[in-house]
Amino acid sequence: MTDEPCRRGAAGSVIPAGLPSRRSRRGWKPSFTPLRQLRAALAQRPDDVLDLLRDGTKRARRLTADTLEAVRDGLGVFTLAA
């Protein structure tokens, strides 16, 4: 039996089409090294990471609120704010 059905993503194949084989994935490992190093460095500073996430969340909420307000104004929708 060949792996041709798997390469084509044919019915009954084990490997879906587009999924790299185990052999080709070996070449990816070195390309992840910088990301692994960054992750290790960030793991040493969990408070800084949480601060960055909180700041990003605040900025995203402000932007979302402004956008939502503009959409509501454009559609003529109002809210009952306290």
Q: For the segment 31-63, what is each residue's pLDDT rounded down to a tens digit?
A: 788 888 999 999 999 999 999 999 999 999 999
Is 3 contained in some domain? yes
Q: Mark whether 3 and 37 lie in a shared domain.
A: yes
Q: Residues 60, 71: one domain?
A: yes
Tell me the residue type at 65: A
56 in the same domain as 29: no
Left if phi > 0, otherwise alpha if psi is -120 to 50, otherwise beta: which for 32?
alpha
Q: Which domain holds residue 19?
A: 1-44
Question: Quick one: 3 and 39 in the same domain?
Answer: yes
Domain total for the chain?
A: 2
Q: How far apart are CA 82 and CA 78, in angstroms?
A: 13
CB 6 within 8 A of CB 13: yes
pLDDT at 49: 93
Q: Looking at the structure, tell me whether residues 54 and 23 fall in a common domain.
A: no
The rounded percent of the chain whose pLDDT value lies above 90 is: 37
Q: With a threshold of 0.95, does the pTM exceed it?
A: no
Whether residues 40 and 23 fall in one domain: yes
Question: Looking at the domain assignment, is residue 29 inside a domain?
Answer: yes
**1 and 36 both lie in a single domain:** yes
